[in-house]
Amino acid sequence: MSEGLFDLTGKYALVTGGAQGLGRMIAEGLLRAGAAVAITSRNAQIAEDSAAQMRAIGPCTAYAADLSTPEAAVELVRRYTSDVGKCDILVNNAGKTWGGPIDSFPDKAWPGVMAVNVQTPFTMVRELLPLLRASGSGGDPARIINIGSVAGVKVERLQAYSYAASKAAIHMLTRDLAGDLAHDNITVNAIVPGFFPTKMTAHMRDEDKVDPSLLTHIPMKRLGAPDDIAGAVIFLCSRAGGYVTGAQLPIDGGLVGCG
C-alpha cells in the first residue's frame, strides 16, 4: 500500500447537516483524516457548539442554514465561497423524513422531503462547481458524496413514501451527475446507509435498546457505528477512492447485498 492512501491533509470539506447525527460522524471522520471541515445546521447555536467541540480534532467552521429552498443553498455556497474559497469534498448529508399510514399520508409530506433530499443536493453541486472544478485533477479528483438510503434501494416497508422515493431519486441523480462531471475530474458517489442510531431512527429504539425485530432483519445483527460511515466516506474522499464514480456503496450490515 502506498503511503498516505487514506490521508486527507490539506483538503477542504463541506458537510451539510454535519452538526448532528450521521453528518457529525462523517465530519469527525474527515477531521481525523486531516481535512478542514465546514458543517451546517438549521440552528446557529447547535452549529457553533458542534464546531467548537470538533475543533478539538481539527479545523471546523459552522454555518447556519435551513436548506429547504434552493435560494438557501445558493446563499450557503455564497457565504462558504467567500469565507473558505476552496472545496475539495462536498457531502450532501442533510435529510428529512416523514412516516405515516398510506390512507392518511398527507400531501404536505412530499415537497419538503423532495426539496431537502433531492433538490438541495443538486443546487449545492451546481453552485459549488467552480470550486470543485478548480480542486479536481486527473490523479486526485474532487469528490461529491450524496447520502442515500437502503430505503431507496429495496422495499423496507417504513411507510415513509416520499422519503423512499427521494432516496431512490438521489441515487439516480448521483449516477447522472457522475457521468456529466467525470471529465471535470469530479467523482460523484452515493453512500447507502442501513440503520444508524440517530434522531431519524429514534422511534425504532427505546433509549439505547434496539427493537429486536430490527436487529433480526439486519444480516449482521447490529446497527451501524460512527466508524462504519466515517470509514466509507474517508475511502471515497481519499486517494484510495479516486477511481470510483457513479457508485452506490451500501453501509448496511448486509441489508442490500444479502437481501
Q: What gap in Å lies between CA 240 and CA 234, rounded to an integer?
A: 9
Q: Which three cell numbers stand for residue 158?
A: 417504513
* CA atoms of 90 and 113, how far apart (whole Å): 20
Query: Counting contacts by CB under 6 A, is residue 193 touching ligand NAP?
Result: yes
140 binds ligand NAP (CB under 6 A): no
Q: Does 147 bind ligand NAP (CB under 6 A)?
A: yes
The span of 4-12, 61-69, 103-111, 174-182 binding ligand NAP (CB under 6 A) equals: 61-69
User: Binder to ligand NAP among 8, 11, 17, 144 (CB under 6 A)?
Assistant: 17
Q: How far apart are alpha carbons 138 and 118 in whole angstroms?
A: 28
Q: Does residue 149 interact with ligand NAP by CB under 6 A?
A: yes
Q: Are 56 and 37 in contact, with CB atoms under 8 Å apart?
A: no
Report how far residue 29's alpha carbon sits from residue 1's, in angstroms, rounded to the nearest whole number.
21
Regarding 19 and contact with ligand NAP (CB under 6 A), the answer is yes
- Please tell me the count of residues contacting ligand NAP according to CB under 6 A: 28
The smaller minimum CB distance to ligand NAP, of residues 186 and 218, is found at 218
- DSSP class of residue 118? I
Least distance in Å: CB of 196 to ligand NAP?
Answer: 4
Q: Compute the least distance from the CB of residue 16 to ligand NAP, in Å.
A: 6
Contact between 201 and ligand NAP per CB under 6 A: yes
Say whether residue 75 binds ligand NAP (CB under 6 A).
no
Decide whether 98 or 185 has the Cβ nearer to ligand NAP: 98
Which of 94-102, 121-129, 133-141, 231-239 is the region at the interface with ligand NAP (rule: CB under 6 A)?
94-102
- By C-alpha distance, which of 148, 196, 151, 194 is closest to 172? 148
Among 8, 51, 200, 218, binds ligand NAP (CB under 6 A): 200
First to last CA, the chain: 33
251's CB contacts (< 8 A; 6+ apart) are 191, 192, 193, 194, 224, 228, 229, 232
Alpha-carbon distance 9 to 156, whole Å? Answer: 38
**Spatial separation of the C-alpha atoms in residues 46 and 72, rounded to whole Å:** 18
Q: Which is nearer to ligand NAP, 162 or 201 (CB)?
A: 201
Length, in residues, of the chain:
259
Q: Which is nearer to ligand NAP, 141 or 194 (CB)?
A: 194
Q: Is 163 a catalytic residue?
A: yes
How many angstroms separate the CA atoms of 215 and 241, rounded?
30
68 contacts ligand NAP (rule: CB under 6 A): yes
Catalytic residue among 63, 161, 163, 243: 163
Contact residues for ligand NAP, defined by CB under 6 A: 17, 19-23, 41-43, 46, 65-68, 93-96, 116, 147, 149, 193, 195-196, 198-201
Active site residues: 163
